[in-house]
Amino acid sequence: MEPSVRLPEDEAITGIRQVLHEAAAADRFSGTVLIEKNGQVLFSGAYGLADRERGVPNTLGTRFRIGSMNKMFTAAAVLQLAEAGKVDLTALVGEYLIGYPNRDVAAKVTIHHLLTHTGGTGDIFGPEFQAHRLELRTLDDYVRLYGDRGPEFEPGSRFRYSNYGYILLGFLIEKISGKTYYDYVQAHVYEPAQMTASGSQPEHHPLPDLSVGYMKPPGTAEPVPNTETLPYRGTSAGGGYSTAGDLARFARALLGHELLRPASTRLLLAGKVELGSGAGYAYGFEDRRDVQGNGSVGHSGGAAGMNGDLRIYPKSGYTVVALANADPPAAQRITAWLDTRLPAQI
| 161-189 pLDDT tens trace | 999 999 999 999 999 999 999 999 999 99
CB 338 within 8 A of CB 2: no
Secondary structure E strands in the chain: 31-37, 40-47, 49-51, 56-57, 64-67, 214-215, 224-225, 240-242, 273-276, 279-281, 286-287, 297-303, 306-312, 318-324
Give the number of other CB atoms < 10 A from CB of residue 35. 26
Angstrom distance (rounded) from CA 89 to CA 197: 30
* 9-67+211-226+243-298+308-339 shares its CATH topology with 72-183: yes
Angstrom distance (rounded) from CA 282 to CA 117: 10
Say which DSSP state 201 is in.
-
**Local mean pLDDT, 10-residue blocks, the chain (346 residues):** 74 97 97 97 98 98 98 98 98 97 98 98 94 95 97 98 98 98 98 98 95 94 94 96 98 98 98 94 97 95 98 97 98 97 77
What integer pLDDT is reported at residue 344 of this predicted model?
72
Domain regions of the chain by residue span: 9-67+211-226+243-298+308-339, 72-183
Segment 146-165, tens digit of pLDDT: 999 999 999 999 999 999 99
Topology classification of domain 72-183: Beta-lactamase (3.40.710)
Taking all residues of the chain, what is their mean pLDDT, rounded to a whole number?
96
Residue partners of 247: CB distance under 8 A and separation at least 6: 34, 66, 69, 195, 308, 310, 321, 323
Radius of gyration for the chain, computed over Cα atoms and rounded to the nearest angstrom:
20
Architecture of domain 9-67+211-226+243-298+308-339: 3-Layer(aba) Sandwich (3.40)
